[in-house]
Amino acid sequence: MESTQPNRDNTPATLKQRIDSLRITLKEHNYRYYTLDTPIITDAEYDRLLRQLEALETELGEPIPSDSPTQTVGAPLSATFQPREHGEALLSLANAFDAGEVEAFVRRIHDQFGDQFGNQADDQPLRFIIEPKIDGLAINLRYEQGKLTVAATRGDGTVGEDVTNNVRTIADIPWHLQADNTDTDSADIPDVLEVRGEVYMSKAAFAELNARQDAEGAAPFANPRNAAAGSLRQLDARITARRGLNFFAYGVGVGGRHIATNQSDLLSRLHDCGFAVQQTTLVNSSAELLQHYRQLQQQRASMPYDIDGVVYKLNDFELQDRMGAVARSPRWAIAHKFLAEEVETTVHRIIWQVGRTGVITPVAEMQPVAVGGVTVSRATLHNIDELHRKQVYAGAQVIVRRAGDVIPEVVRAVDVDERISFPKAPDHCPACGASLFRIEGEVAIRCSGGLSCPAQLTEHLRHFVSRGGMDIEGMGDKLIARLVEEHLITDIADLYEFDYASLRDWPGMGAKKITNLQAAIEQSRHRPLARFLYALGIRHVGTATATALASYFSTLNHIMQTDAETLIDIPDIGPEVATSIISFFSETHNRDVIQRLLDAGVQPASRQMTLSDHPLSGKRVVLTGSFAAIDRRMAQEKLRTLGAKPTGSVSKNTDIVIAGEKSGSKLTRAHELGIEVAGEKQLLAWLNP
Ligand code: IVH
C-beta atoms surrounding 246 within 10 Å: 20
Is residue 272 very low, low, confident or very high in pLDDT (cuts 50, 70, 90)? very high
Torsion (CA) 535, 537, 542, 544 in degrees, nearest 10: -50
Torsion (CA) 179, 135, 636, 667 in degrees, nearest 10: -100
Looking at the DSSP assignment, which residues form a beta bridge with residue 352?
A: 362
- CA 91 – CA 251 distance, rounded (Å): 11
Q: What is the b/e burial string over 578-608, where b = at least 16 CB atoms within 10 angstroms of the residue's CB?
A: bebbeebbeeeebeebbebbeeeebebbbee
**Alpha carbon of 130 to those of 222, 283, 289: distances in Å?**
28, 8, 7
Taking residues 327-349, report their average pLDDT.
89
Nearest to 291 by CA among 55, 557, 102: 102
pLDDT at residue 491 above 60?
yes
What single-letter amino acid sits at 186?
S
Instruction: Give residue 91 CA to ligand 1 midpoint distance, Å.
Output: 8
pLDDT at residue 7 above 60?
no
**pLDDT at residue 149 in the model:** 95
Ligand 1 pocket by C-beta < 6 Å: which residues?
91-93, 131, 133-134, 138, 154, 198, 250-251, 311, 330, 333, 335
**pLDDT at residue 470 in the model:** 94
**pLDDT at residue 419 in the model:** 82
pLDDT at residue 281 above 80?
yes
**pLDDT at residue 253 in the model:** 97
Instruction: Give, using CA atoms, the residue closest to atom 13 of ligand 1.
Output: 138
Of the two residues 325 and 311, the one the predictor is more confident about is: 311
Ligand 1 pocket: which of 90, 91, 92, 308 to mutate (most atoms within 8 A of CB): 92
Q: Is residue 133 among the annotated active site residues?
A: yes
Instruction: Give residue 93 CA to ligand 1 midpoint distance, Å.
Output: 6
Ligand 1 pocket: which of 311, 313, 320 to mutate (most atoms within 8 A of CB): 311
The answer for residues whose C-beta is within 8 angstroms of residue 130's C-beta and 6 or more apart is 280, 281, 282, 283, 289, 292, 293, 296, 310, 311, 312
Spacing of C-alpha 216 from chain mean position: 26
Instruction: Give, using CA atoms, the residue closest to atom 22 of ligand 1.
Output: 92
Ligand 1 pocket: which of 105, 128, 133, 626 to mutate (most atoms within 8 A of CB): 133
Ligand 1 pocket: which of 135, 194, 198 to mutate (most atoms within 8 A of CB): 198
- CA 242 – CA 157 distance, rounded (Å): 28
Q: Catalytic pick from 16, 27, 133, 337?
A: 133
Which domains does the chain carry? 12-72 (1.10.287.610), 95-337 (3.30.470.30), 342-414 (2.40.50.140), 454-599 (1.10.150.20), 611-687 (3.40.50.10190)
**Alpha carbon of 644 to those of 67, 653, 671: distances in Å?**
40, 14, 21
CB-CB contact of 656 with 674 (8 Å): no
**Alpha carbon of 164 to those of 36, 100, 150, 157, 673: distances in Å?**
13, 41, 5, 17, 21
Torsion (CA) 630, 634, 635, 637 in degrees, nearest 10: -170
CB-CB contact of 334 with 159 (8 Å): no
The model's pLDDT over 505-528, given as tens digits with 9 standing for 90+, comes to: 888 888 999 999 999 999 999 898
Instruction: Give residue 663 CA to ligand 1 midpoint distance, Å.
Output: 15
Nearest to 572 by CA among 554, 612, 545, 535: 545
Looking at the DSSP assignment, which residues form a beta bridge with residue 336?
A: 96, 310
pLDDT at residue 150 above 70?
yes
Instruction: Give, using CA atoms, the residue closest to atom 16 of ligand 1.
Output: 133
Taking residues 233-250, report their average pLDDT.
91
Instruction: Give, using CA atoms, the residue closest to atom 12 of ligand 1.
Output: 133
End-to-end CA distance of the chain: 63
Instruction: Give, using CA atoms, the residue closest to atom 21 of ligand 1.
Output: 138
Is residue 2 very low, low, confident or very high in pLDDT (cuts 50, 70, 90)? very low
**Alpha carbon of 391 to those of 31, 347, 387, 408: distances in Å?**
60, 12, 6, 17
- CA 651 – CA 666 distance, rounded (Å): 9
What single-letter amino acid sits at 346?
T
Phi, psi of 557 (to 5 degrees): -55, -45
Instruction: Give residue 334 CA to ligand 1 midpoint distance, Å.
Output: 9
**pLDDT at residue 92 in the model:** 87
Spacing of C-alpha 515 from chain mean position: 36
- CA 91 – CA 325 distance, rounded (Å): 9
Instruction: Give, using CA atoms, the residue closest to atom 17 of ligand 1.
Output: 133
Instruction: Give residue 399 CA to ligand 1 midpoint distance, Å.
Output: 30
pLDDT at residue 3 above 50?
no
- CA 185 – CA 533 distance, rounded (Å): 71
- CA 179 – CA 164 distance, rounded (Å): 22
Is residue 342 very low, low, confident or very high in pLDDT (cuts 50, 70, 90)? confident
Of the two residues 41 and 466, the one the predictor is more confident about is: 466
Q: What is the mean pLDDT of the chain?
A: 86
The model's pLDDT over 643-674, given as tens digits with 9 standing for 90+, comes to: 788 888 888 889 899 998 888 888 888 888 88
Taking residues 265-274, report their average pLDDT.
96
**pLDDT at residue 82 in the model:** 86
Taking residues 612-624, report their average pLDDT.
81
Is residue 536 very low, low, confident or very high in pLDDT (cuts 50, 70, 90)? very high
**pLDDT at residue 230 in the model:** 87
Instruction: Give residue 199 CA to ligand 1 midpoint distance, Å.
Output: 11
Helices (H), 525-623: 529-535, 543-553, 556-561, 564-569, 575-586, 588-599
- CA 683 – CA 666 distance, rounded (Å): 16
CB-CB contact of 622 with 586 (8 Å): no
